[in-house]
Structure 1
Amino acid sequence: MRALAAALALAAGLTLSAGARRQAPQRSRAQILALGERMYREGILPSGEPLQGVVKGDVPVSGAAFTCRNCHLRSGMGSYEGGVATPPITAAKLFQRQFWQFPSLTEAERIEAGVAQSKLRRPAYTDGTLADAIRTGVDPLGRTLNDVMPRYDLSPADMAILVAYLRTLSAEVSPGVTATTIRFATVLTPDVTAAEEEALRVPLDNFIASHNRLPQGFGNRMYRSASGRDMSLSHRQITLARWRLTGPPATWGAQLEAHQRREPVFALLGGMSHGDWKPIHTFCETRGIPCLFPLTDLPVVSDTDWYTVYFSKGLWQEGEAAARFLAGRPEGADPGRIVQAVADSPRARAAAMGFDLAWQEAGKAPVKTVRLPAGGLQEAALREWAAKGSVAVVLWDGPGAYPALAALAGPQLPVVFMASGLLGPRLGELPEAARASTYVTYPFRAPADEPKFARYANSLLAGLTALDNTERIYTRMYSLVEVLKQALMDMDRSYYRDAFLDALGMQKDRVLPDYERLSFGPGQRYAAKGCYVMQLTPGPQPVLVKRSDWVIH
């Protein structure tokens, strides 16, 4: 703490000359750390100008393009990208000695484990040696660091601000974690049924029970060596609270705050809502609490929010898929003859927003958009669009549109696009006469290919009374568990919320149930990035056939 206080004092201008002090801004601790955070994450100096540095000896770069976060990640846990190993620079790593063997053990733990005399990799950084490394790329032993790391010739005041921030980077274990336990919660909104809750809960409970039994298989043998000691200290028991919300969405934020005050958790796992996930998303952003893979068709779509990782963009993503597919077809060449019909529901509007954005990104002129009446698509409206020469109808409506499609089926019917997320289990009831003209966006793996992947989820189903997977609940919870297990291993003992999200972002692509693949990357918040466009075959037992690749953008 004395070192941090000294760094903060320097950053505040207290060590400048008397004349300079009269003109230097006197900043609070919070202001200094906020400025340091911006330097680290965005590459922006306190003056508002971008940092300037060099790589490869003499290649100038802007700190806004080569931020510290790009390689060391938001938490400072480090990364391995492009064949370059970037070491962790958390406060615990920078400001204590580092050894080649068992680097996770603290000084006290090394003494207890009998490895205090291991070979030193480097001494602890001081404010001065850290400043030298940032400016010149030389570590405390005089060794030159990799030249892909930018060298920044910061002023003393700016350097002091950055160092003060680095002394706080992932310095304190996040709430919800103790020496023995890591606490999670799952959130369920009022529209989730008891059967759906069971399908979500059972796989998580079974994983947690298995995880919590893990140390019993080692017994005291875990403590007989330094490696065993290191391993055992990394392990935490897991608990999972169930936060069931009640009442209207406007009250959910206060309920979540009350839950977190009573029982602080490290992160949220899964959760489910048939409505808008935004109130829970906002709570997580406001409180800095990660949320992994909630089950919702209405996630928040954002390029900047950080704390929630979704399976996909839900219905928004289906709208994107329709736009990109249609843009490449002959009908897409004349936007003036395309009608987008949108039902009066949040789900339909989400698909329309995804369509509009992807259509615009494709460089297309806007299509005509109409709002469907409360009764949904009417035959008269469909006939009117056909009579006016419409070549495609992007129809964001549910199965209630089927009678109108059946009535106009045949040569008169324009090409129609619909979303499987709006049709639900009645997708297969699409009128046979309309199937040749109708394309359906489908964000999951082809049904014929899915059983061989879904069977892996059976390992977590002990105790589940109903095996109905219409909503793909327990299979997606299995995928969550697999991703979570890897993240916990990669975090090791770095129980910081940002490190949890960084560990997720560094995972390799995963082939798991439901989605063709889940792919990750630093800062990416939607793991399933593709969507099929399909059609139903004729006959009383139709099947879906692919009309596009998985990733169509």
Structure 2
Amino acid sequence: MRALPLLLCALSCAAAASPTPLTPREQAGRRIYFEGESPTGGSISATLGANVRLPGSAVPCVNCHGEDGSGRPEGGVLPPDITWTELTKPYGHVHPGGRKHPVLEDRSVARAVSEGIDPGGNRLDAVMPRYSMSWEDMSSLLAWLKRLEHEREPGVTDSALRLGVVLPTRGRLAELGQAMRGVLEAWCAELNASGGIHGRTLELVIAGYDSDQETGLASAQRMLGQEPVFALLSGFLPGAEKELAALAEREALPLIGPFTLSARKDGTPERHVFFLLSDAGEQARVLAEYAARELSREGTRAAILHPEDEGLAGAARAARARLQARGWKQVELLRYTRGAFNPALAEDLKRKGTRVMLFLGNDEELAALLEKARTLGWAPYLLLPGNLSARAAVRAPALFQGRIFLAYPTLPSDEQPRAREAFSRLQASTPAAEGYRMAQVSAYTAATLLTEGLRRSGRQLSRKKLLGHLEGLYAFEPGLVPPLSYGPNRRVGAWGAYVVTVDLAARSFRPVTGWMELPDGG
């Protein structure tokens, strides 16, 4: 709202001495300020120049004055600061260009908003709209302006910024949780020792849970009810990833870099969640594309095996669609119940002449399949998302030499020396690091991403501002993973994968492709 800015610029009002819940009138005024819409169902319109009339929602106050009321430069125009301290200056105001006027009161503010005239009888800048709204809505707007500078985002004080981290601290996943926690706490301590970010130290609020008895969602909900936090950082909630994302959306709570096997490229349903790397679904598509390019000479009969899991079933369908789009007509989908995988199905696949198999099971299931294949003397080309069953893959029977390919969202070659050194320094302080490097890399990368977003957001911090700056990141290099890019409809930073093959003798991996990022829907 641009007319409001100036007119507001002279508001005389009483402000709350300390943050308290918003009154109904303040809530109504907040909506007008942020959205330009009337909570009463009335009409709010804005007139620009001589006769250009727009709905108020096209030019809400926040567009120019910002979420904190301090004014946001736009197109060479610097809207005035409309915080309470500025508006109630007893000696009035002198604006750039020499325009002067005495202190404003509620009625003179309303006149400035609606007519574009300040208390000195001066006409406001021509870029300032004149707003038409009911007196009830105007009163609500003024009530919000009186409250504006005393509003703070949850978890933010003058000296500190609190971040929530949900991790397993008990049960079978406790060591993994401890490994991630150690890196995050070391990052936080190191950052605070250097002065924090924009004068604020960072505080981690750990919401722990027992991975043998719960998913961690209840722990996250308890934390949000007891400890207001500005954002959720990293974290690991297997089995409750979708529920956590839904919680972040409901609470308008940024969730930065959760360690997950399930990510969505489309940011529309999960605007507040920023994933780091591609999930098994995209890795499966990359593997299908690799097979179409490199293995067609083996015939185009393929099978895709997946457990009864919504995410992995979607990955299987996406991979089949990719193969079919590339001319493979005989692609069979085989679903099985998790925990009840029957390796005997290898006999049927061999009989059918299946030459290529994409397997979306876990290590235990893959090991059983490989052993059955060994007894049959059958070695189809095997395609695997690396984060599902890599341990079993490197222990495959010798007859699979040169016939196993895995997709990974990151490789050691992505690591830059300075980032590797910084990560190693943080990792050294972690008691339970062995075997959990990828989880720690994820935690470190999430922390690096958040640090960049906070630094770009500046001292006047808000969740909305953070989201905007993260959305604006393009080819940002956190140092241990491929460059991360986000956008209004992109919520996975590195969307794609590498393909590697397994040297079974050396039990090592060798890249066979560079980075592969497929077009949407292709």
- Contact 1:536/1:543 (CA < 8 Å) preserved in 2? yes
Q: Does 1:463 align with 2:432?
A: no
Matches of 1:451 and 1:496, distance apart in 2:
31
Aligned to 1:521, what secondary structure does the other structure show? coil
Considering Cα pairs closer than 8 Å and 6+ residues apart, tell me whether 1 or 2 has the greater RCO. Answer: 2
Match of 2:508 among 539, 542, 547: 542
User: What do the CA deviations read for 1:469-495 (whole angstroms, capped 9, x no partner)?
Assistant: 544133333222322222221121333
Q: 1:103 to 1:340 in 2, by over 3 A?
A: same
- Correspondence for 1:209: 189
- Where do residues 316-465 of structure 1 align in structure 2 (5 Å cutoff)? 316-326=281-291, 328=293, 331=296, 337-344=301-308, 346=309, 350-357=311-318, 359-360=320-321, 364=325, 367-372=331-336, 380-398=344-362, 399-400=366-367, 401-408=369-376, 413=380, 415-444=381-410, 446-447=411-412, 450=415, 452=417, 454-465=420-431
- Contact 1:405/1:434 (CA < 8 Å) preserved in 2? no
Match of 2:69 among 92, 95, 98: 92
Matches of 2:73 and 2:412, distance apart in 1:
53
- Correspondence for 2:461: 495
TM superposition shift of 1:62: 13
CA RMSD of aligned residues (A): 5.4
User: What do the CA deviations read for 1:432-489 (whole angstroms, capped 9, x no partner)?
Assistant: 3224333212121x34564845333123235323442544133333222322222221
- Where do residues 195-234 of structure 1 align in structure 2 (5 Å cutoff)? 195-215=175-195, 234=198
TM-score (norm 2): 0.69
Matches of 2:238 and 2:439, distance apart in 1:
12
User: What do the CA deviations read for 1:75-116 (whole angstroms, capped 9, x no partner)?
Assistant: x6x8xxxxxxxx6643514599999799899856999xxxx9
Match of 1:474 among 416, 426, 440: 440
Q: Does 1:290 align with 2:254?
A: yes
Matches of 1:121 and 1:524, distance apart in 2:
46
TM superposition shift of 1:239: 1.3
Q: 1:500 to 1:449 in 2, by over 3 A?
A: closer
2:490 aligned partner, one-letter code: Q
Aligned to 2:384, what secondary structure does the other structure show? strand
- Correspondence for 1:311: 276
- Contact 2:167/2:208 (CA < 8 Å) preserved in 1? yes
Which segments of 5 or more consecutive residues in structure 2 lack a partner in the other structure? 9-23, 117-122
Match of 1:185 among 158, 161, 164: 164
- Where do residues 76-225 of structure 1 align in structure 2 (5 Å cutoff)? 89-90=66-67, 92-94=69-71, 142=125, 172-189=151-168, 190-191=170-171, 193-215=173-195
2:182 aligned partner, one-letter code: V
Matches of 1:469 and 1:500, distance apart in 2:
33
Matches of 1:509 and 1:255, distance apart in 2:
34
Matches of 2:30 and 2:69, distance apart in 1:
20
Q: 1:102 to 1:427 in 2, by over 3 A?
A: farther
- Contact 2:407/2:497 (CA < 8 Å) preserved in 1? yes
Matches of 2:337 and 2:401, distance apart in 1:
24
Q: 1:451 to 1:94 in 2, by over 3 A?
A: closer
TM-score (norm 1): 0.66
Aligned to 1:479, what secondary structure does the other structure show? helix
TM superposition shift of 1:203: 2.5
2:186 aligned partner, one-letter code: N
User: What do the CA deviations read for 1:349-368 (whole angstroms, capped 9, x no partner)?
Assistant: 53331242365478747943
Q: 1:392 to 1:300 in 2, by over 3 A?
A: same
1:307 aligned partner, one-letter code: H
Aligned to 1:285, what secondary structure does the other structure show? helix
- Correspondence for 2:205: 241
- Contact 2:188/2:202 (CA < 8 Å) preserved in 1? yes
- Correspondence for 2:470: 504
- Contact 1:416/1:438 (CA < 8 Å) preserved in 2? yes
Aligned to 1:310, what secondary structure does the other structure show? strand
Aligned to 1:472, what secondary structure does the other structure show? helix
Aligned to 1:265, what secondary structure does the other structure show? coil
Matches of 1:552 and 1:258, distance apart in 2:
40
Q: 1:361 to 1:436 in 2, by over 3 A?
A: closer
User: What do the CA deviations read for 1:506-539 (whole angstroms, capped 9, x no partner)?
Assistant: 2342233542222222353211212112222353
Q: 1:236 to 1:329 in 2, by over 3 A?
A: same
1:240 aligned partner, one-letter code: L
TM superposition shift of 1:196: 2.4
Match of 2:235 among 271, 275, 280: 271
Which segments of 5 or more consecutive residues in structure 1 lack a partner in the other structure? 8-27, 79-86, 134-139, 146-150, 217-230
Matches of 1:480 and 1:359, distance apart in 2:
32
Matches of 1:108 and 1:62, distance apart in 2:
28
1:431 aligned partner, one-letter code: P
Aligned to 1:547, what secondary structure does the other structure show? coil
Aligned to 1:317, what secondary structure does the other structure show? helix
TM superposition shift of 1:242: 1.0
Greater mean deviation of Cα atoms: 478-487 or 365-374: 365-374
Q: Tell me the matched-pair count.
A: 465
Q: 1:464 to 1:174 in 2, by over 3 A?
A: same
- Contact 1:191/1:273 (CA < 8 Å) preserved in 2? no
Greater mean deviation of Cα atoms: 272-281 or 495-504: 272-281
Matches of 1:296 and 1:249, distance apart in 2:
19
Matches of 1:30 and 1:386, distance apart in 2:
70
Matches of 1:297 and 1:173, distance apart in 2:
34
Aligned to 1:465, what secondary structure does the other structure show? coil
TM superposition shift of 1:273: 3.4
- Contact 1:99/1:120 (CA < 8 Å) preserved in 2? no
Q: Does 1:281 align with 2:250?
A: no
TM superposition shift of 1:211: 3.2
1:520 aligned partner, one-letter code: Y
